[in-house]
Amino acid sequence: MPPVPAAVHVPYSGRELCGLPPLDVPATPDADTARRAAEKELAKPAYHHAATLWERAWRWLAEHLDPRGAVPGVPSWLSVLIVVVLVLALVVALGVMFTRITWARRARRAHGVLFEDDRDASALTRAANAAAAQGDWATAVIERFRAVVRTLDERGALEDYPGMTAHEAAGLAARPLGELAAEMDEAARLFDSVRYGSVVSTPSQDAWMREFAERVTRAPLALPTPARQVTP
């Protein structure tokens, strides 16, 4: 029987061609190697987005304003309760402040300009009557008060000017009207309330304003006496 030739080893890698022993590299990495490789890969900037300003602010609040430890020396539940009460008090205070600012703005608006054109007293009265005939009581009340002020201007009791308000007109008319001064002030308040929506005008309000306008037209006025010229 002829001898069996020895197995011939054929190099299959660069290391063996160079005379180095082959490496025993497993086809699949073990768990630790895979974990380290994954952590290294995920640590790259491409996998992370920059935190927004809101996210950074929220993170800071969460780290520094934990309500459980906001009040030192007390149990965590009591600290949370105190923080909640303070936050609610702040919300109520802001609501009250906002309400006051809103009312202040409305009060400033309530002293808006009286006249929007240069119609005389007769034209304003006709406009008021036409509005009343159509059931537009708000326009009727507004136009009648304007007619009252324009009547006083035409009779020389006051002199209207651009930007005059209803309350300013009532103040200027107080002395010439005498006993009707209080009603003039009431009419000015009604004008502002109706014009700026504080109240819904009614037929009775228009009837009262109509009767007041007629009384002003007939009333004797205490007109200012013109200064006498001194003859040298």
100-112 pLDDT, tens digit per residue, is: 665 545 544 444 5
**CA distance linking residue 167 with residue 165, whole number of Å:** 5
Note the pLDDT of residue 108: 47
Q: What are the C-alpha distances in Å from 159 to residues 65, 152, 174?
A: 64, 8, 13
Q: Hey, what are 37's tokens?
A: 């490789």
pLDDT, averaged across the chain: 76
Is the per-residue pLDDT at 31 higher than 80? no
Note the pLDDT of residue 17: 53
Note the pLDDT of residue 128: 94
* Helix then strand then coil, % of the chain, to nearest 5: 60, 0, 40
- Whether this model's pTM surpasses 0.85: no
**CA distance linking residue 93 with residue 99, whole number of Å:** 10
Confidence label for 65 from pLDDT (cuts 50, 70 and 90): low
Of 198, 180, 177, 178, the residue nearest 189 (C-alpha): 198
**CA distance linking residue 16 with residue 21, whole number of Å:** 6
Which of 5-19, 81-95, 108-122 is modeled with the greatest confidence?
Answer: 81-95
